């Protein structure tokens, strides 16, 4: 069922590999997994889909290993998580020596003969997932039925006559009520009872129906408190009749039944002991809180019980462990657990959000850092806080590092050699500084000796064309044609207002090609990311003209909006493009950087969402205020207290 399972070290050596049913090469999907998830700090959830395969992975940070399992996307295998955990534990225990002592050489020289263990674990996991579901049902049914018959016989001996009388009267109405409520399975159980002996049968049927109703309620309401309310209701209905003679006893009896039923549902064990101990015990005790909790944990779900139990002992241990943990953290080598990291990560997350990082990105980042650090052994004299901070800092620097080259001049030179203009398109929402930064970039390009054609495709905003014309005039004054061999370095291509932007862009590019301009800068109108017709127009402009560089201009003041803007812009570009590989945003220009002091979080949000680099940073409104991004300085400002 599995396609493959790989274990490899973080340094890149494949330690063991298992090729399953269909065995295409395992390297490509795993490389893709590494590239997109681990390296981009998206390690929050641990599954990843690549073409037709779903990959699930687990990191072992203590020994620097990665465990990856791949299977077909259409299958949903429930035992995969458990399998990974088991394999992880086994592998680690088996080869612990080699990891600890010899380091890389140990990894190289050691042979990891893990196949038999793996096959065994795989078989166990498959079997366990297959068998679990039906058996639960059976035990429930069996125990219920058996308990009903046995217990009813014991219980009703004392009160049989009275109850029988009353029950007969209201049997009809009650039965209808209960049958409407009870689930089909229980109704069938109730129906089977009449086949038993006479009076006893009726009584048992009623009480069975009662019990069924209660269980139905309990099962469909998760909280214990809620189950209390239908229970008193059920009791009340039944209590309408028994209330005449003995409220306490009947209540106790009701509770007895339910308790026995739940005991049976959990496992078939306590059936025997129920009869004597619990029955007698309950009769004395009031149906109190403790009681509730008991069967709530058994009845509701195994999960809750498991959750509650460890939380209680861990809380106790936590008190003592906290003190020792602190000392240990200072001196010895302690391995990091989730609980240790959580408070620190919370603080870091709030700190990031205070620094203007988008909220969901801060959450995802902290998740991924937690995953990376879990189980790692800390060195001496390092506290949890410092380790987490270090890891977070590395993660942030990694995000800000460009995935591809950020050398615009180099690309322009390339285009120059091929005798075609290099086309750059600026897009973004209203008022972020597109036109201003366009002017700054054209100034920079002219300084480096390239001639620029500005295409005024903002045909909507009043004064847009005039603004660009003013810029052109000023730039030409700064760089007169005489000093550049008689060429006008900057020219404006405009067709007035109200025309189609994509058409103007196309004409501008062909004009530039004819006249021999090196660069074409296309200025577009600002638009909100929710405005569908405008987004379509922008996508058409970009798809039709195929620019070399699509720059998204975003201001550094934006907070959580950055995520929304970028996502919607990219989506619009992808949706409306006809080509196989649509042109998406290639780079980001971060503007108004001088207005934020150290709340530089917007840079992180934007690069995280698009994984594209920040090409320029705008730091003011004069022509010289253009910078490139320095990842370390930004991260330092971000992490500063």
Partner 1 sequence: TFLPPQLLTGKYRDTQTSITDSSAVYRVGNDKSANVTLIDLPGHESLRLQFLERFKAAARAIVFVVDSVAFQREVKDVAEFLYQVLIDSTVLKNAPALLIACNKQDVTMAKSAKLIQQQLEKELNTLRVTHSAAPTSLDGSGTGGPAQLGKKGKDFDFSQLPMKVEFVECSARGSKGEEGDADFEGLEKWLAKIA
CB of 226 to partner 1, least distance (A): 48
Residue 8 sits in the site that holds partner 1 (CB under 8 A)? yes
Which candidate, 619, 631, 611, places its Cα nearest to that of 591? Answer: 619
Choose which of 2, 3, 5, 6 interacts with partner 1 (CB under 8 A).
6
The stretch near partner 1 (CB under 8 A) out of 3-11, 274-282, 451-459, 540-548 is 3-11
Distance CA 221, CA 224 (A): 8
* Other C-beta atoms lying within 10 Å of the C-beta of residue 627: 14
CA nearest neighbour of 211 among 266, 160, 253, 154? 253
Q: Which stretch binds partner 1 (CB under 8 A): 199-207, 322-330, 423-431, 621-629?
A: 621-629
The verdict on 598 binding partner 1 (CB under 8 A) reads: no
* Shortest distance, position 523 Cβ to partner 1, whole Å: 20
Segment 425 to 484, residues that bind partner 1, using CB under 8 A: 444, 447-448
Number of residues forming the site for partner 1 (CB under 8 A): 51
Nearest of 523, 519, 473, 517 to residue 494 by alpha carbon: 523
Nearer to partner 1, 409 or 567 (CB): 409
Q: At what angle do helices 532-545 and 561-575 cross, to 10 degrees?
A: 60
391 binds partner 1 (CB under 8 A): no
Q: Taking the complex as a whole, how short is the minimal distance between the CB of residue 452 and partner 1, in angstroms?
A: 15
Q: Please say whether the beta carbons of 146 and 272 come within 8 A.
A: no
> Minimal distance in Å, beta carbon 95 to partner 1?
16
Q: Which is nearer to partner 1, 410 or 418 (CB)?
A: 410
Among 3, 5, 18, 30, binds partner 1 (CB under 8 A): 30
Pick 404 or 484: Cβ nearer partner 1: 404
The count of C-alpha atoms lying within 13 angstroms of the C-alpha of 527, restricted to the half-sphere facing its C-beta, is: 23
Ramachandran assignment for 487, one of left (phi > 0), alpha (psi -120 to 50 degrees), beta (any other): beta
Q: Please give the structure tokens belonging to residue 257.
A: 């039944």
- Which single residue is written with the structure tokens 């902290």? 366
Binding mask 403-432 for partner 1 (x = CB under 8 A): xxx-x-xx--x-------------------
Q: Tell me if 100 contacts partner 1 by CB under 8 A.
A: no
Nearer to partner 1, 187 or 606 (CB): 606
Query: CA–CA separation, 298 vs 584, rounded Å?
Result: 54
Closest CB to partner 1 among 211 and 440? 440
Q: Among residues 34, 348, 384, 502, which is the contact residue for partner 1, using CB under 8 A?
A: 34
Stretch that binds partner 1, among 169-177, 336-344, 401-409, 514-522 (CB under 8 A): 401-409
User: How many other CB atoms sit within 10 Å of the CB of residue 301?
Assistant: 13
Q: How far is the CB of 3 from partner 1 (least distance, A)?
A: 16
Is residue 378 part of the contact set for partner 1 (CB under 8 A)? no
* DSSP codes of every residue in 370-404: HHHHTTPBP-TT--HHHHHHHHHHHHHHHHHS-SS
Residue 2: other Cβ atoms inside 10 A = 20
By CB under 8 A, is residue 12 in contact with partner 1? Answer: yes
595 binds partner 1 per the rule CB under 8 A: no
Alpha-carbon distance 50 to 30, whole Å? 9
Cβ neighbours of residue 336 closer than 8 Å, sequence gap 6 or more = 61, 373, 374, 375, 376, 377, 378, 384, 387
Residue among 6 and 570 whose Cβ is closer to partner 1: 6
Cβ distance to partner 1 smaller for residue 182 or 399: 399
Identity of the residue, 56 or 174, whose beta carbon is nearer to partner 1 in the bound complex: 56
How many beta carbons lie within 10 A of that of residue 598, not counting itself? Answer: 13
- The nearer residue to partner 1, 185 or 402, going by C-beta atoms, is 402
What distance in Å separates the CA atoms of residue 427 and residue 580, rounded to the nearest whole number? Answer: 22
Taking the complex as a whole, the smallest distance from the CB of residue 65 to partner 1 amounts, in Å, to 11
Query: Shortest Cβ distance from residue 430 to partner 1 (Å)?
Result: 25
b vs e for 568-577, b when ≥16 Cβ sit within 10 Å of the residue's Cβ?
bbbebbeebb
Q: What is the largest CA-CA distance in the chain?
A: 119
Q: What is the footprint of partner 1 within residues 35-94 (CB under 8 A)?
A: 35, 38-40, 64, 66
Note whether 591 and 555 are within 8 A (CB). yes
Q: Which residues bind partner 1 (CB under 8 A)?
A: 6, 8-14, 17, 27, 30-31, 34-35, 38-40, 64, 66, 103-105, 108-109, 394, 397-399, 401-405, 407, 409-410, 413, 444, 447-448, 593, 616-617, 619, 626-630, 633-634
């Amino acid at each position: 069922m599995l396609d493959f399972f790989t274990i490899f070290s973080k340094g890149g050596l494949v330690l063991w590999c298992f090729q399953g049913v269909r065995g295409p090469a395992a390297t490509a999907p795993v490389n893709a997994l590494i590239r997109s998830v681990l390296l981009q700090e998206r390690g929050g959830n641990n599954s990843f889909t690549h073409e037709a395969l779903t990959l699930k992975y687990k990191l072992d940070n203590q020994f620097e290993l990665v465990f990856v399992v791949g299977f077909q996307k259409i299958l949903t295998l429930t035992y995969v998580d458990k399998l990974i955990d088991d394999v992880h534990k086994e592998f680690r225990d088996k080869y612990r020596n080699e990891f600890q002592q010899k380091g890389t050489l140990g990894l190289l020289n050691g042979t990891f003969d893990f196949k038999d263990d793996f096959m065994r674990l795989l078989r166990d996991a498959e079997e366990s997932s297959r068998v679990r579901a039906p058996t639960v049902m059976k035990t429930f049914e069996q125990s219920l039925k058996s308990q009903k018959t046995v217990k009813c016989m014991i219980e009703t001996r004392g009160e049989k006559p009275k109850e029988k009388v009353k029950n007969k009267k209201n049997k009809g109405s009650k039965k209808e009520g209960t049958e409407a409520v009870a689930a089909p399975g229980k109704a069938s159980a109730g129906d089977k009872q009449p086949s038993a002996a006479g009076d006893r049968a009726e009584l048992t049927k009623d009480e069975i129906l009662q019990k069924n109703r209660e269980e139905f309620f309990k099962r469909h309401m998760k909280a214990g408190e809620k189950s209390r309310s239908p229970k008193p209701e059920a009791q009340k209905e039944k209590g309408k009749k028994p209330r005449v003679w003995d409220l306490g006893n009947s209540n106790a009896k009701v509770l007895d039944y339910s308790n026995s039923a739940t005991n049976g549902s959990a496992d078939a064990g306590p059936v025997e002991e129920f009869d004597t101990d619990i029955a007698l015990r309950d009769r004395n005790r009031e149906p109190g809180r403790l009681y509730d909790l008991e069967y709530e944990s058994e009845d509701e779900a195994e999960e809750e019980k498991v959750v509650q139990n460890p939380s209680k002992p861990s809380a106790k241990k936590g008190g003592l462990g906290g003190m020792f943990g602190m000392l240990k953290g200072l001196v010895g080598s302690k391995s990091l657990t989730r609980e240790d990291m959580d408070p620190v990560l919370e603080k870091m997350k709030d700190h990031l959000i205070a620094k203007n990082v988008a909220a969901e990105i801060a959450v995802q980042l902290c998740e991924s850092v937690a995953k990376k650090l879990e189980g790692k052994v800390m060195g001496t004299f390092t506290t949890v806080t410092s380790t987490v901070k270090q890891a977070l800092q590395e993660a942030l620097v990694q995000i800000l590092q460009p995935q591809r080259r950020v050398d615009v001049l180099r690309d322009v030179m390339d285009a120059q050699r091929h005798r075609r203009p290099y086309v750059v398109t600026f897009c973004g929402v209203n008022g972020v500084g597109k036109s201003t930064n366009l002017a700054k970039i054209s100034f920079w390009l002219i300084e480096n000796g390239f001639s620029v054609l500005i295409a005024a495709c903002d045909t909507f905003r009043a004064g847009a064309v005039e603004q660009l014309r003013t810029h052109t005039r000023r730039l030409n004054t700064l760089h007169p044609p005489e000093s550049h061999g008689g060429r006008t370095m900057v020219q404006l291509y405009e067709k007035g207002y109200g025309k189609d932007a994509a058409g103007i862009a196309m004409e501008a590019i062909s004009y530039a090609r004819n006249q021999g301009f090196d660069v074409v800068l296309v200025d577009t109108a600002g638009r909100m990311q929710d405005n569908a017709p405008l987004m379509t127009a922008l996508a058409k402009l970009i798809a039709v003209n195929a620019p070399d560089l699509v720059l998204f201009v975003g201001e550094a003041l934006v907070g959580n909006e950055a995520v929304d803007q970028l996502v919607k812009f990219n989506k619009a570009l992808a949706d409306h493009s006809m080509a196989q590989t649509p042109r998406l945003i290639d780079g980001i220009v971060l503007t108004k950087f001088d207005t934020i002091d150290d709340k530089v979080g917007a840079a992180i949000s934007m690069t995280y969402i698009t994984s594209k680099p920040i090409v320029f940073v705008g730091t003011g409104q004069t022509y010289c205020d253009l910078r490139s991004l320095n990842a370390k300085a930004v991260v330092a400002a971000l992490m500063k207290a």
